[in-house]
């Protein structure tokens, strides 16, 4: 017994002795050809059904090495709640996913189901739950395999008009929508049933054309009552890096379709927009975004000829991994025909404990021409669970 | 009219016809390995720069353009780039580099993956990677497999260059083997030495060298340290012999500097990618890391 122990002690000392391990470590030059062959075989025949078993009590059962390879789509939910104070309560029905009243607000619970369908398509389904309602926020397929540069989307989707409209609540840098988007496209933005064809030009810089053809059900600016009226919308955008750490994106959008001001004469609404984005990202956890967008609408009716314009401009500065500070300015009435002149200033500060949760405090000073100035303050909380597809730039 | 069409077509030529394989890698280190294998037959570029956290890049439109024009996309896999690569890949509208095509090289294939969660994971564990730790390239054994993987994809896409790629691969692996002899000798003294790292990004390096990470500055992956965690770390340092605090340059330096000052431990900034500190190749990268560690770990 004693000798056995002594032997093991000796053996282990010998094996771990630095000289011996040096010997072991000294790399024998390998036969490279043989090695390539074996690695390459390993790469080709990826072991799929390894029958490793795990014992549990008297039972042996196979272990699923690949984990959850069950071809489930990615399912995720994002919840946005806020506490709000308004000196002047907003008109019911005009707020969409924005905070709607003094007190606690459920802004939105978003449920997303996303997956690649086959080698040719992927699909995204996004449902928006309110307290008492659920709505199809988006539901569309995207082609993956058309000739280089081309892509088609079909279904219900947020139209690619400007920078703000295509974005979901959780990707906004502020707790609520911008004034211009709200007044021209309605509280929830313009999302339509239709198709989009887009093309990325083979230029050395980013140049993208997007065109959509849709029902035009948007009640704020379109929604013609005639069957033959559709909404035509397009966007051209370009982007380039101005230095290692800075990029610029410029876009211009147009939407044209008949509106609902008459039953049968097909009065047109034309909306044009221009947007500008500057981003500076000097380090992985520091960045500055400056985004500005101008939207101009001409909405005809048999009795009037309304021209309205509005813009917003904001800067959002991320000064550490978790903290952002933002300042936004909204201006309506450039010119003012059917929509009153209004200015709004919005500072906000955002704390992201992780990428999956967010706490945001925001204040708004709002002045509509001819009325008393209004104040609002929000404290917003947002969480995100599950694998949610990463968002575009 | 004919003239106009011809002029237009000739204008397009520089963007369509290029003899070399256009290779876009997510990280500079992947690009440099691909360049070694591809030699004169490929031109490589990387989306990230060496001093950026590979988890946190912007899905910039210029990246979309790069992918649109790429013949090959090389990425680390294991959800390393999940925060930014999937949307630009869809926007790039390039069927040649879609997942599961010859033009899409997932470098995690065939590797011995570490830290694959064995139980159900959730995000209270921080930013865990359900498919295993994706910081794979600091173990040269993995790079060996990556190199073969890249060569196979290149050979499939550019059949005429097959023997060229095989030759380049052989040269690279032989050089790597030689380097391994040197590195294994150099890292022998790192074995069983305790260090603290910022993120769990040195797992593969430690698996190779036997260096032991006894704690991370982040309490959980992706979660910045709390003051309590810093106190715990100081307690730990007091109780166990720790040799150094190691971090990448892109992480916030405040807490590691505080830890270093309080505990008198050296703080080493190491590069984990090509492109930092003038590093041009994978060999130089590993050389630099080892030299920096050897200076303070004994």
Bridge partner list, A307? A298
Residues of B in contact with A240 (CB under 8 A): 62
pLDDT band (50, 70, 90) for residue A4? low
Give which of B16, B50, B61 to mutate to test A binding, by max A Cβ within 10 Å. Answer: B61
A90: in domain? yes
Residue-wise DSSP of B113-152: -----SS---GGG-S--TT----GGGSHHHHHHHHHHHHH
Helix, strand, coil share (%) of chain B residues, nearest 5: 50, 10, 35
pLDDT for A342-387, tens place per residue?
999 999 999 999 889 999 999 999 999 999 999 999 999 999 998 8
A36: in domain? no
Residues of B in contact with A48 (CB under 8 A): none
Q: Say yes or no: B125 contacts chain A, CB-CB below 8 A.
A: no
In the block, residue with structure tokens 């260096």: B211
Residues of A in contact with B116 (CB under 8 A): 67
Q: Say yes or no: B212 contacts chain A, CB-CB below 8 A.
A: no
Of A39, A148, A393, the CB nearest to B148: A39
Strands of chain B, DSSP E: 21-25, 42-46, 72-75, 104-106, 194-197, 212-216, 244-248, 267-270
Task: Give the minimum alpha-carbon distance from B68 to chain A in angstroms, rounded to a whole number.
Answer: 7
Task: Give the minimum alpha-carbon distance from A60 to chain B in angstroms, rounded to a whole number.
Answer: 17
* pLDDT in the model for residue A5: 62
Cα end-to-end distance, chain A, whole Å? 70
Token pair belonging to A203: 């230029």
Residues of A in contact with B103 (CB under 8 A): none
Asked if B222's CB is within 8 angstroms of A239's CB, the reply is no
Asked if B188's CB is within 8 angstroms of A146's CB, the reply is no
Q: Check if the beta carbon of residue A313 is closer than 8 Å to that of residue A291.
A: yes
**Structural domain containing residue A345:** 74-385
Asked if B110's CB is within 8 angstroms of A43's CB, the reply is yes
Give which of B65, B128, B172 to mutate to test A binding, by max A Cβ within 10 Å. Answer: B65
Asked if A147's CB is within 8 angstroms of B95's CB, the reply is yes
CATH topology of domain B12-182: Rossmann fold (3.40.50)
Asked if A119's CB is within 8 angstroms of B100's CB, the reply is yes
B47: preceding bond cis by omega (within 30 degrees): no
Residue B262 scores a pLDDT above 80: yes
Bridge partner list, A275? A251, A293
Residue A23 scores a pLDDT above 80: no
Of A33, A42, A146, the CB nearest to B93: A146
Task: Give the minimum alpha-carbon distance from B173 to chain A in angstroms, rounded to a whole number.
Answer: 7
Task: Give the minimum alpha-carbon distance from A65 to chain B in angstroms, rounded to a whole number.
Answer: 9
Window 13-52 of B: residues touching A by CB (8 A cutoff) are 15-16, 49, 52
A30: in domain? no
Asked if B59's CB is within 8 angstroms of A148's CB, the reply is no
Which of A209, A281, A190, A208 lies closest to A242 in space, CA to CA? A281
Of A116, A148, A206, the CB nearest to B93: A148
A313: in domain? yes
In the block, residue with structure tokens 């590979």: B54
Task: Give the minimum alpha-carbon distance from A80 to chain B in angstroms, rounded to a whole number.
Answer: 18
ipTM: 0.85
H-helix or E-strand containing A121?
strand A121-129
Which of B278, B209, B214 lies closest to B246 in space, CA to CA? B214
Which of B137, B127, B123, B83 lies closest to B218 in space, CA to CA? B127
Residues of B in contact with A26 (CB under 8 A): 181, 184-185
Least confident of A100-104, A129-133, A224-228, B252-256: A224-228
Asked if B126's CB is within 8 angstroms of A25's CB, the reply is no
pLDDT band (50, 70, 90) for residue A24? very low
Residue B125 scores a pLDDT above 90: no
Q: Say yes or no: B200 contacts chain A, CB-CB below 8 A.
A: no
**Where are the domains positioned within chain B?**
12-182, 188-296
Q: Check if the beta carbon of residue B259 is closer than 8 Å to that of residue B196.
A: yes
Residues of B in contact with A203 (CB under 8 A): 15, 65
Cβ atoms within 10 A of the Cβ of A5, count?
9
In which region does residue A52 sit, left (phi positive, over 0), alpha (psi from -120 to 50) or beta (all else)? beta
Task: Give the minimum alpha-carbon distance from A37 to chain B in angstroms, rounded to a whole number.
Answer: 9
Residue B217 scores a pLDDT above 90: yes
- Bridging pattern class, strands B72-75 and B104-106: parallel
| Diameter of chain B measured on Cα atoms | 83
Asked if B90's CB is within 8 angstroms of A142's CB, the reply is yes
Least confident of B75-79, B129-133, B215-219, B243-247: B129-133
Residue A323's CATH number: 2.40.160.10
Given this chain, do its domains B12-182 and B188-296 carry the same CATH topology?
yes
Most confident of A59-68, A84-93, A226-235, A310-319: A310-319
Q: Check if the beta carbon of residue A302 is closer than 8 Å to that of residue A325.
A: no
Nearest CA in chain A to B111: A43
Task: Give the minimum alpha-carbon distance from A124 to chain B in angstroms, rounded to a whole number.
Answer: 12
Q: Check if the beta carbon of residue B32 is closer than 8 Å to that of residue B276.
A: no
Asked if B84's CB is within 8 angstroms of A206's CB, the reply is no
Task: Report how many Cβ contacts below 8 Å link chain A to chain B.
Answer: 159
Asked if B152's CB is within 8 angstroms of A356's CB, the reply is no
Token pair belonging to B138: 């600091």
Q: Say yes or no: B69 contacts chain A, CB-CB below 8 A.
A: yes
The CA dihedral of B220, B226, B228, B229, to the nearest 10 degrees, is 30
pLDDT for A217-252, tens place per residue?
999 999 988 888 999 999 999 999 999 899 999 999
Residues of A in contact with B184 (CB under 8 A): 25-27
A391: in domain? no
Asked if A389's CB is within 8 angstroms of B185's CB, the reply is no
Residue A82 scores a pLDDT above 80: yes
Give which of A23, A27, A291 to mutate to test B binding, by max B Cβ within 10 Å. Answer: A27
Asked if A119's CB is within 8 angstroms of B93's CB, the reply is no
pLDDT for B54-104, tens place per residue?
888 988 999 999 999 999 999 999 999 998 999 999 999 999 999 999 999
Which of B258, B42, B296, B286 lies closest to B151 in space, CA to CA? B42
pLDDT band (50, 70, 90) for residue A293? very high
Asked if A240's CB is within 8 angstroms of B188's CB, the reply is no
Residue A30 scores a pLDDT above 90: no
The domain tally of chain A equals 1
d(CA A332, CA A152): 34
* pLDDT in the model for residue B279: 92
Nearest CA in chain A to B171: A32
pLDDT for B176-195, tens place per residue?
999 999 999 999 989 999 99
A262: in domain? yes
- Please state at what angle helix B162-186 crosses helix B140-157, rounded to 10 degrees: 170
Asked if A241's CB is within 8 angstroms of B144's CB, the reply is no
Query: What is the CATH superfamily name and number for domain B188-296?
Result: Nitrogenase molybdenum iron protein domain (3.40.50.1980)
Of A116, A148, A206, the CB nearest to B61: A206
A134: in domain? yes
* pLDDT in the model for residue A20: 46
Task: Give the minimum alpha-carbon distance from B142 to chain A in angstroms, rounded to a whole number.
Answer: 11
Residues of A in contact with B123 (CB under 8 A): 354, 356, 385
Residues of B in contact with A43 (CB under 8 A): 109-110, 145, 148-149, 152
């Amino acid at each position: 017994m004693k000798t056995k122990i002594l032997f093991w002690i000796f053996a282990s000392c010998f094996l771990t002795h630095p000289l011996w391990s040096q010997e072991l470590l000294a790399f024998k030059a390998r036969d490279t050809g043989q090695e390539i062959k074996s690695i390459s075989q390993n790469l080709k025949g990826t072991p799929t059904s390894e029958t490793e078993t795990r014992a549990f009590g008297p039972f042996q059962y196979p272990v699923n090495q690949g984990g959850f390879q069950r071809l489930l789509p990615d399912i995720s939910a994002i919840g946005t709640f806020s506490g709000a104070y308004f000196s002047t309560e907003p008109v019911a029905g005009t707020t969409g996913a924005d905070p709607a009243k003094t007190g606690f607000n459920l802004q939105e619970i978003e449920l997303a189901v996303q997956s690649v369908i086959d080698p040719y398509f992927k699909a995204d389904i996004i449902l928006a739950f309110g307290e008492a309602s659920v709505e199809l926020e988006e539901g569309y397929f995207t082609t993956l395999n058309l000739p280089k540069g081309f892509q088609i989307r079909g279904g219900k989707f947020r139209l690619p008009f400007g920078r703000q409209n295509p974005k979901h609540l959780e990707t906004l840098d502020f707790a609520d929508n911008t004034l211009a988007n709200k007044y021209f496209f309605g509280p929830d933005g313009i999302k339509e049933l239709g198709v989009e064809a887009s093309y990325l030009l083979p230029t050395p810089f980013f140049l993208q054309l997007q065109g959509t053809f849709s029902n035009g059900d948007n009640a704020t600016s379109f929604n013609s009552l005639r069957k033959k009226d559709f909404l035509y919308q397009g966007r051209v955008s370009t982007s380039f890096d101005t230095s290692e750490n800075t990029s610029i994106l410029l876009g211009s959008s147009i939407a044209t379709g008949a509106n609902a001001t008459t039953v049968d004469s097909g009065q047109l609404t034309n909306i044009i927009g221009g947007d500008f984005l500057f981003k500076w990202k000097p380090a992985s956890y520091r960045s500055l975004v400056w985004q500005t967008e101008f939207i101009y609408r001409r909405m005809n009716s048999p009795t009037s000829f309304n021209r309205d314009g509005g813009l917003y401009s904001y800067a959002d500065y991320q000064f550490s991994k978790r903290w952002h500070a933002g300042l936004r300015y909204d201006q309506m009435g450039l010119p003012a025909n059917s929509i009153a002149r209004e200015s709004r200033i919005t500072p906000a500060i955002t704390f992201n404990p992780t990428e999956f949760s967010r706490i945001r405090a925001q204040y708004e000073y709002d002045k509509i021409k001819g009325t008393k100035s209004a104040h609002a303050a929000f404290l917003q909380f947002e969480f995100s669970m599950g694998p949610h597809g990463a968002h575009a730039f | 009219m004919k003239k106009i069409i011809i002029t237009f077509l000739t204008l397009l030529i520089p963007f369509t016809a290029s003899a070399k394989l256009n290779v876009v890698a997510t990280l500079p280190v992947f690009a440099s390995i691909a360049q070694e294998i591809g030699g004169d037959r490929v031109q490589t570029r990387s989306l990230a720069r060496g001093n950026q956290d590979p988890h946190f890049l912007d899905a910039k439109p210029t990246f979309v353009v790069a992918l649109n024009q790429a013949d090959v996309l090389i990425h680390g896999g294991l959800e390393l780039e999940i925060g930014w690569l999937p949307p630009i890949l869809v926007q790039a509208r390039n069927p040649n580099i879609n997942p599961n095509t010859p033009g899409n090289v997932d470098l995690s294939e065939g590797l011995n993956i570490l830290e694959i969660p064995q139980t159900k994971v959730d995000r209270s564990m921080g930013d865990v990677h359900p498919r295993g730790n994706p910081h794979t390239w600091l173990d040269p054994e993995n790079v060996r497999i990556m190199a073969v993987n890249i060569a196979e994809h290149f050979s499939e896409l550019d059949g005429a260059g097959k023997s060229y790629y095989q030759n380049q691969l052989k040269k690279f692996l032989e050089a790597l083997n030689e380097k391994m002899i040197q590195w294994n000798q150099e890292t022998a003294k790192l074995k069983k030495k305790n260090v603290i790292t910022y993120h769990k990004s040195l797992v593969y390096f430690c698996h190779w060298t036997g260096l032991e990470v006894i704690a991370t500055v982040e309490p959980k992956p992706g979660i910045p340290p709390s003051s309590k965690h810093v106190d715990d770390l100081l307690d730990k340092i007091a109780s166990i012999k720790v040799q150094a605090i190691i971090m990448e340059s892109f992480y916030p330096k405040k807490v590691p500097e505080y830890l270093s000052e309080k505990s008198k431990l050296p703080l080493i900034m190491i590069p984990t990618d090509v492109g930092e500190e003038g590093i041009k190749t994978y060999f130089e990268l590993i050389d630099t890391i080892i030299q920096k560690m050897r200076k303070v770990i004994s």
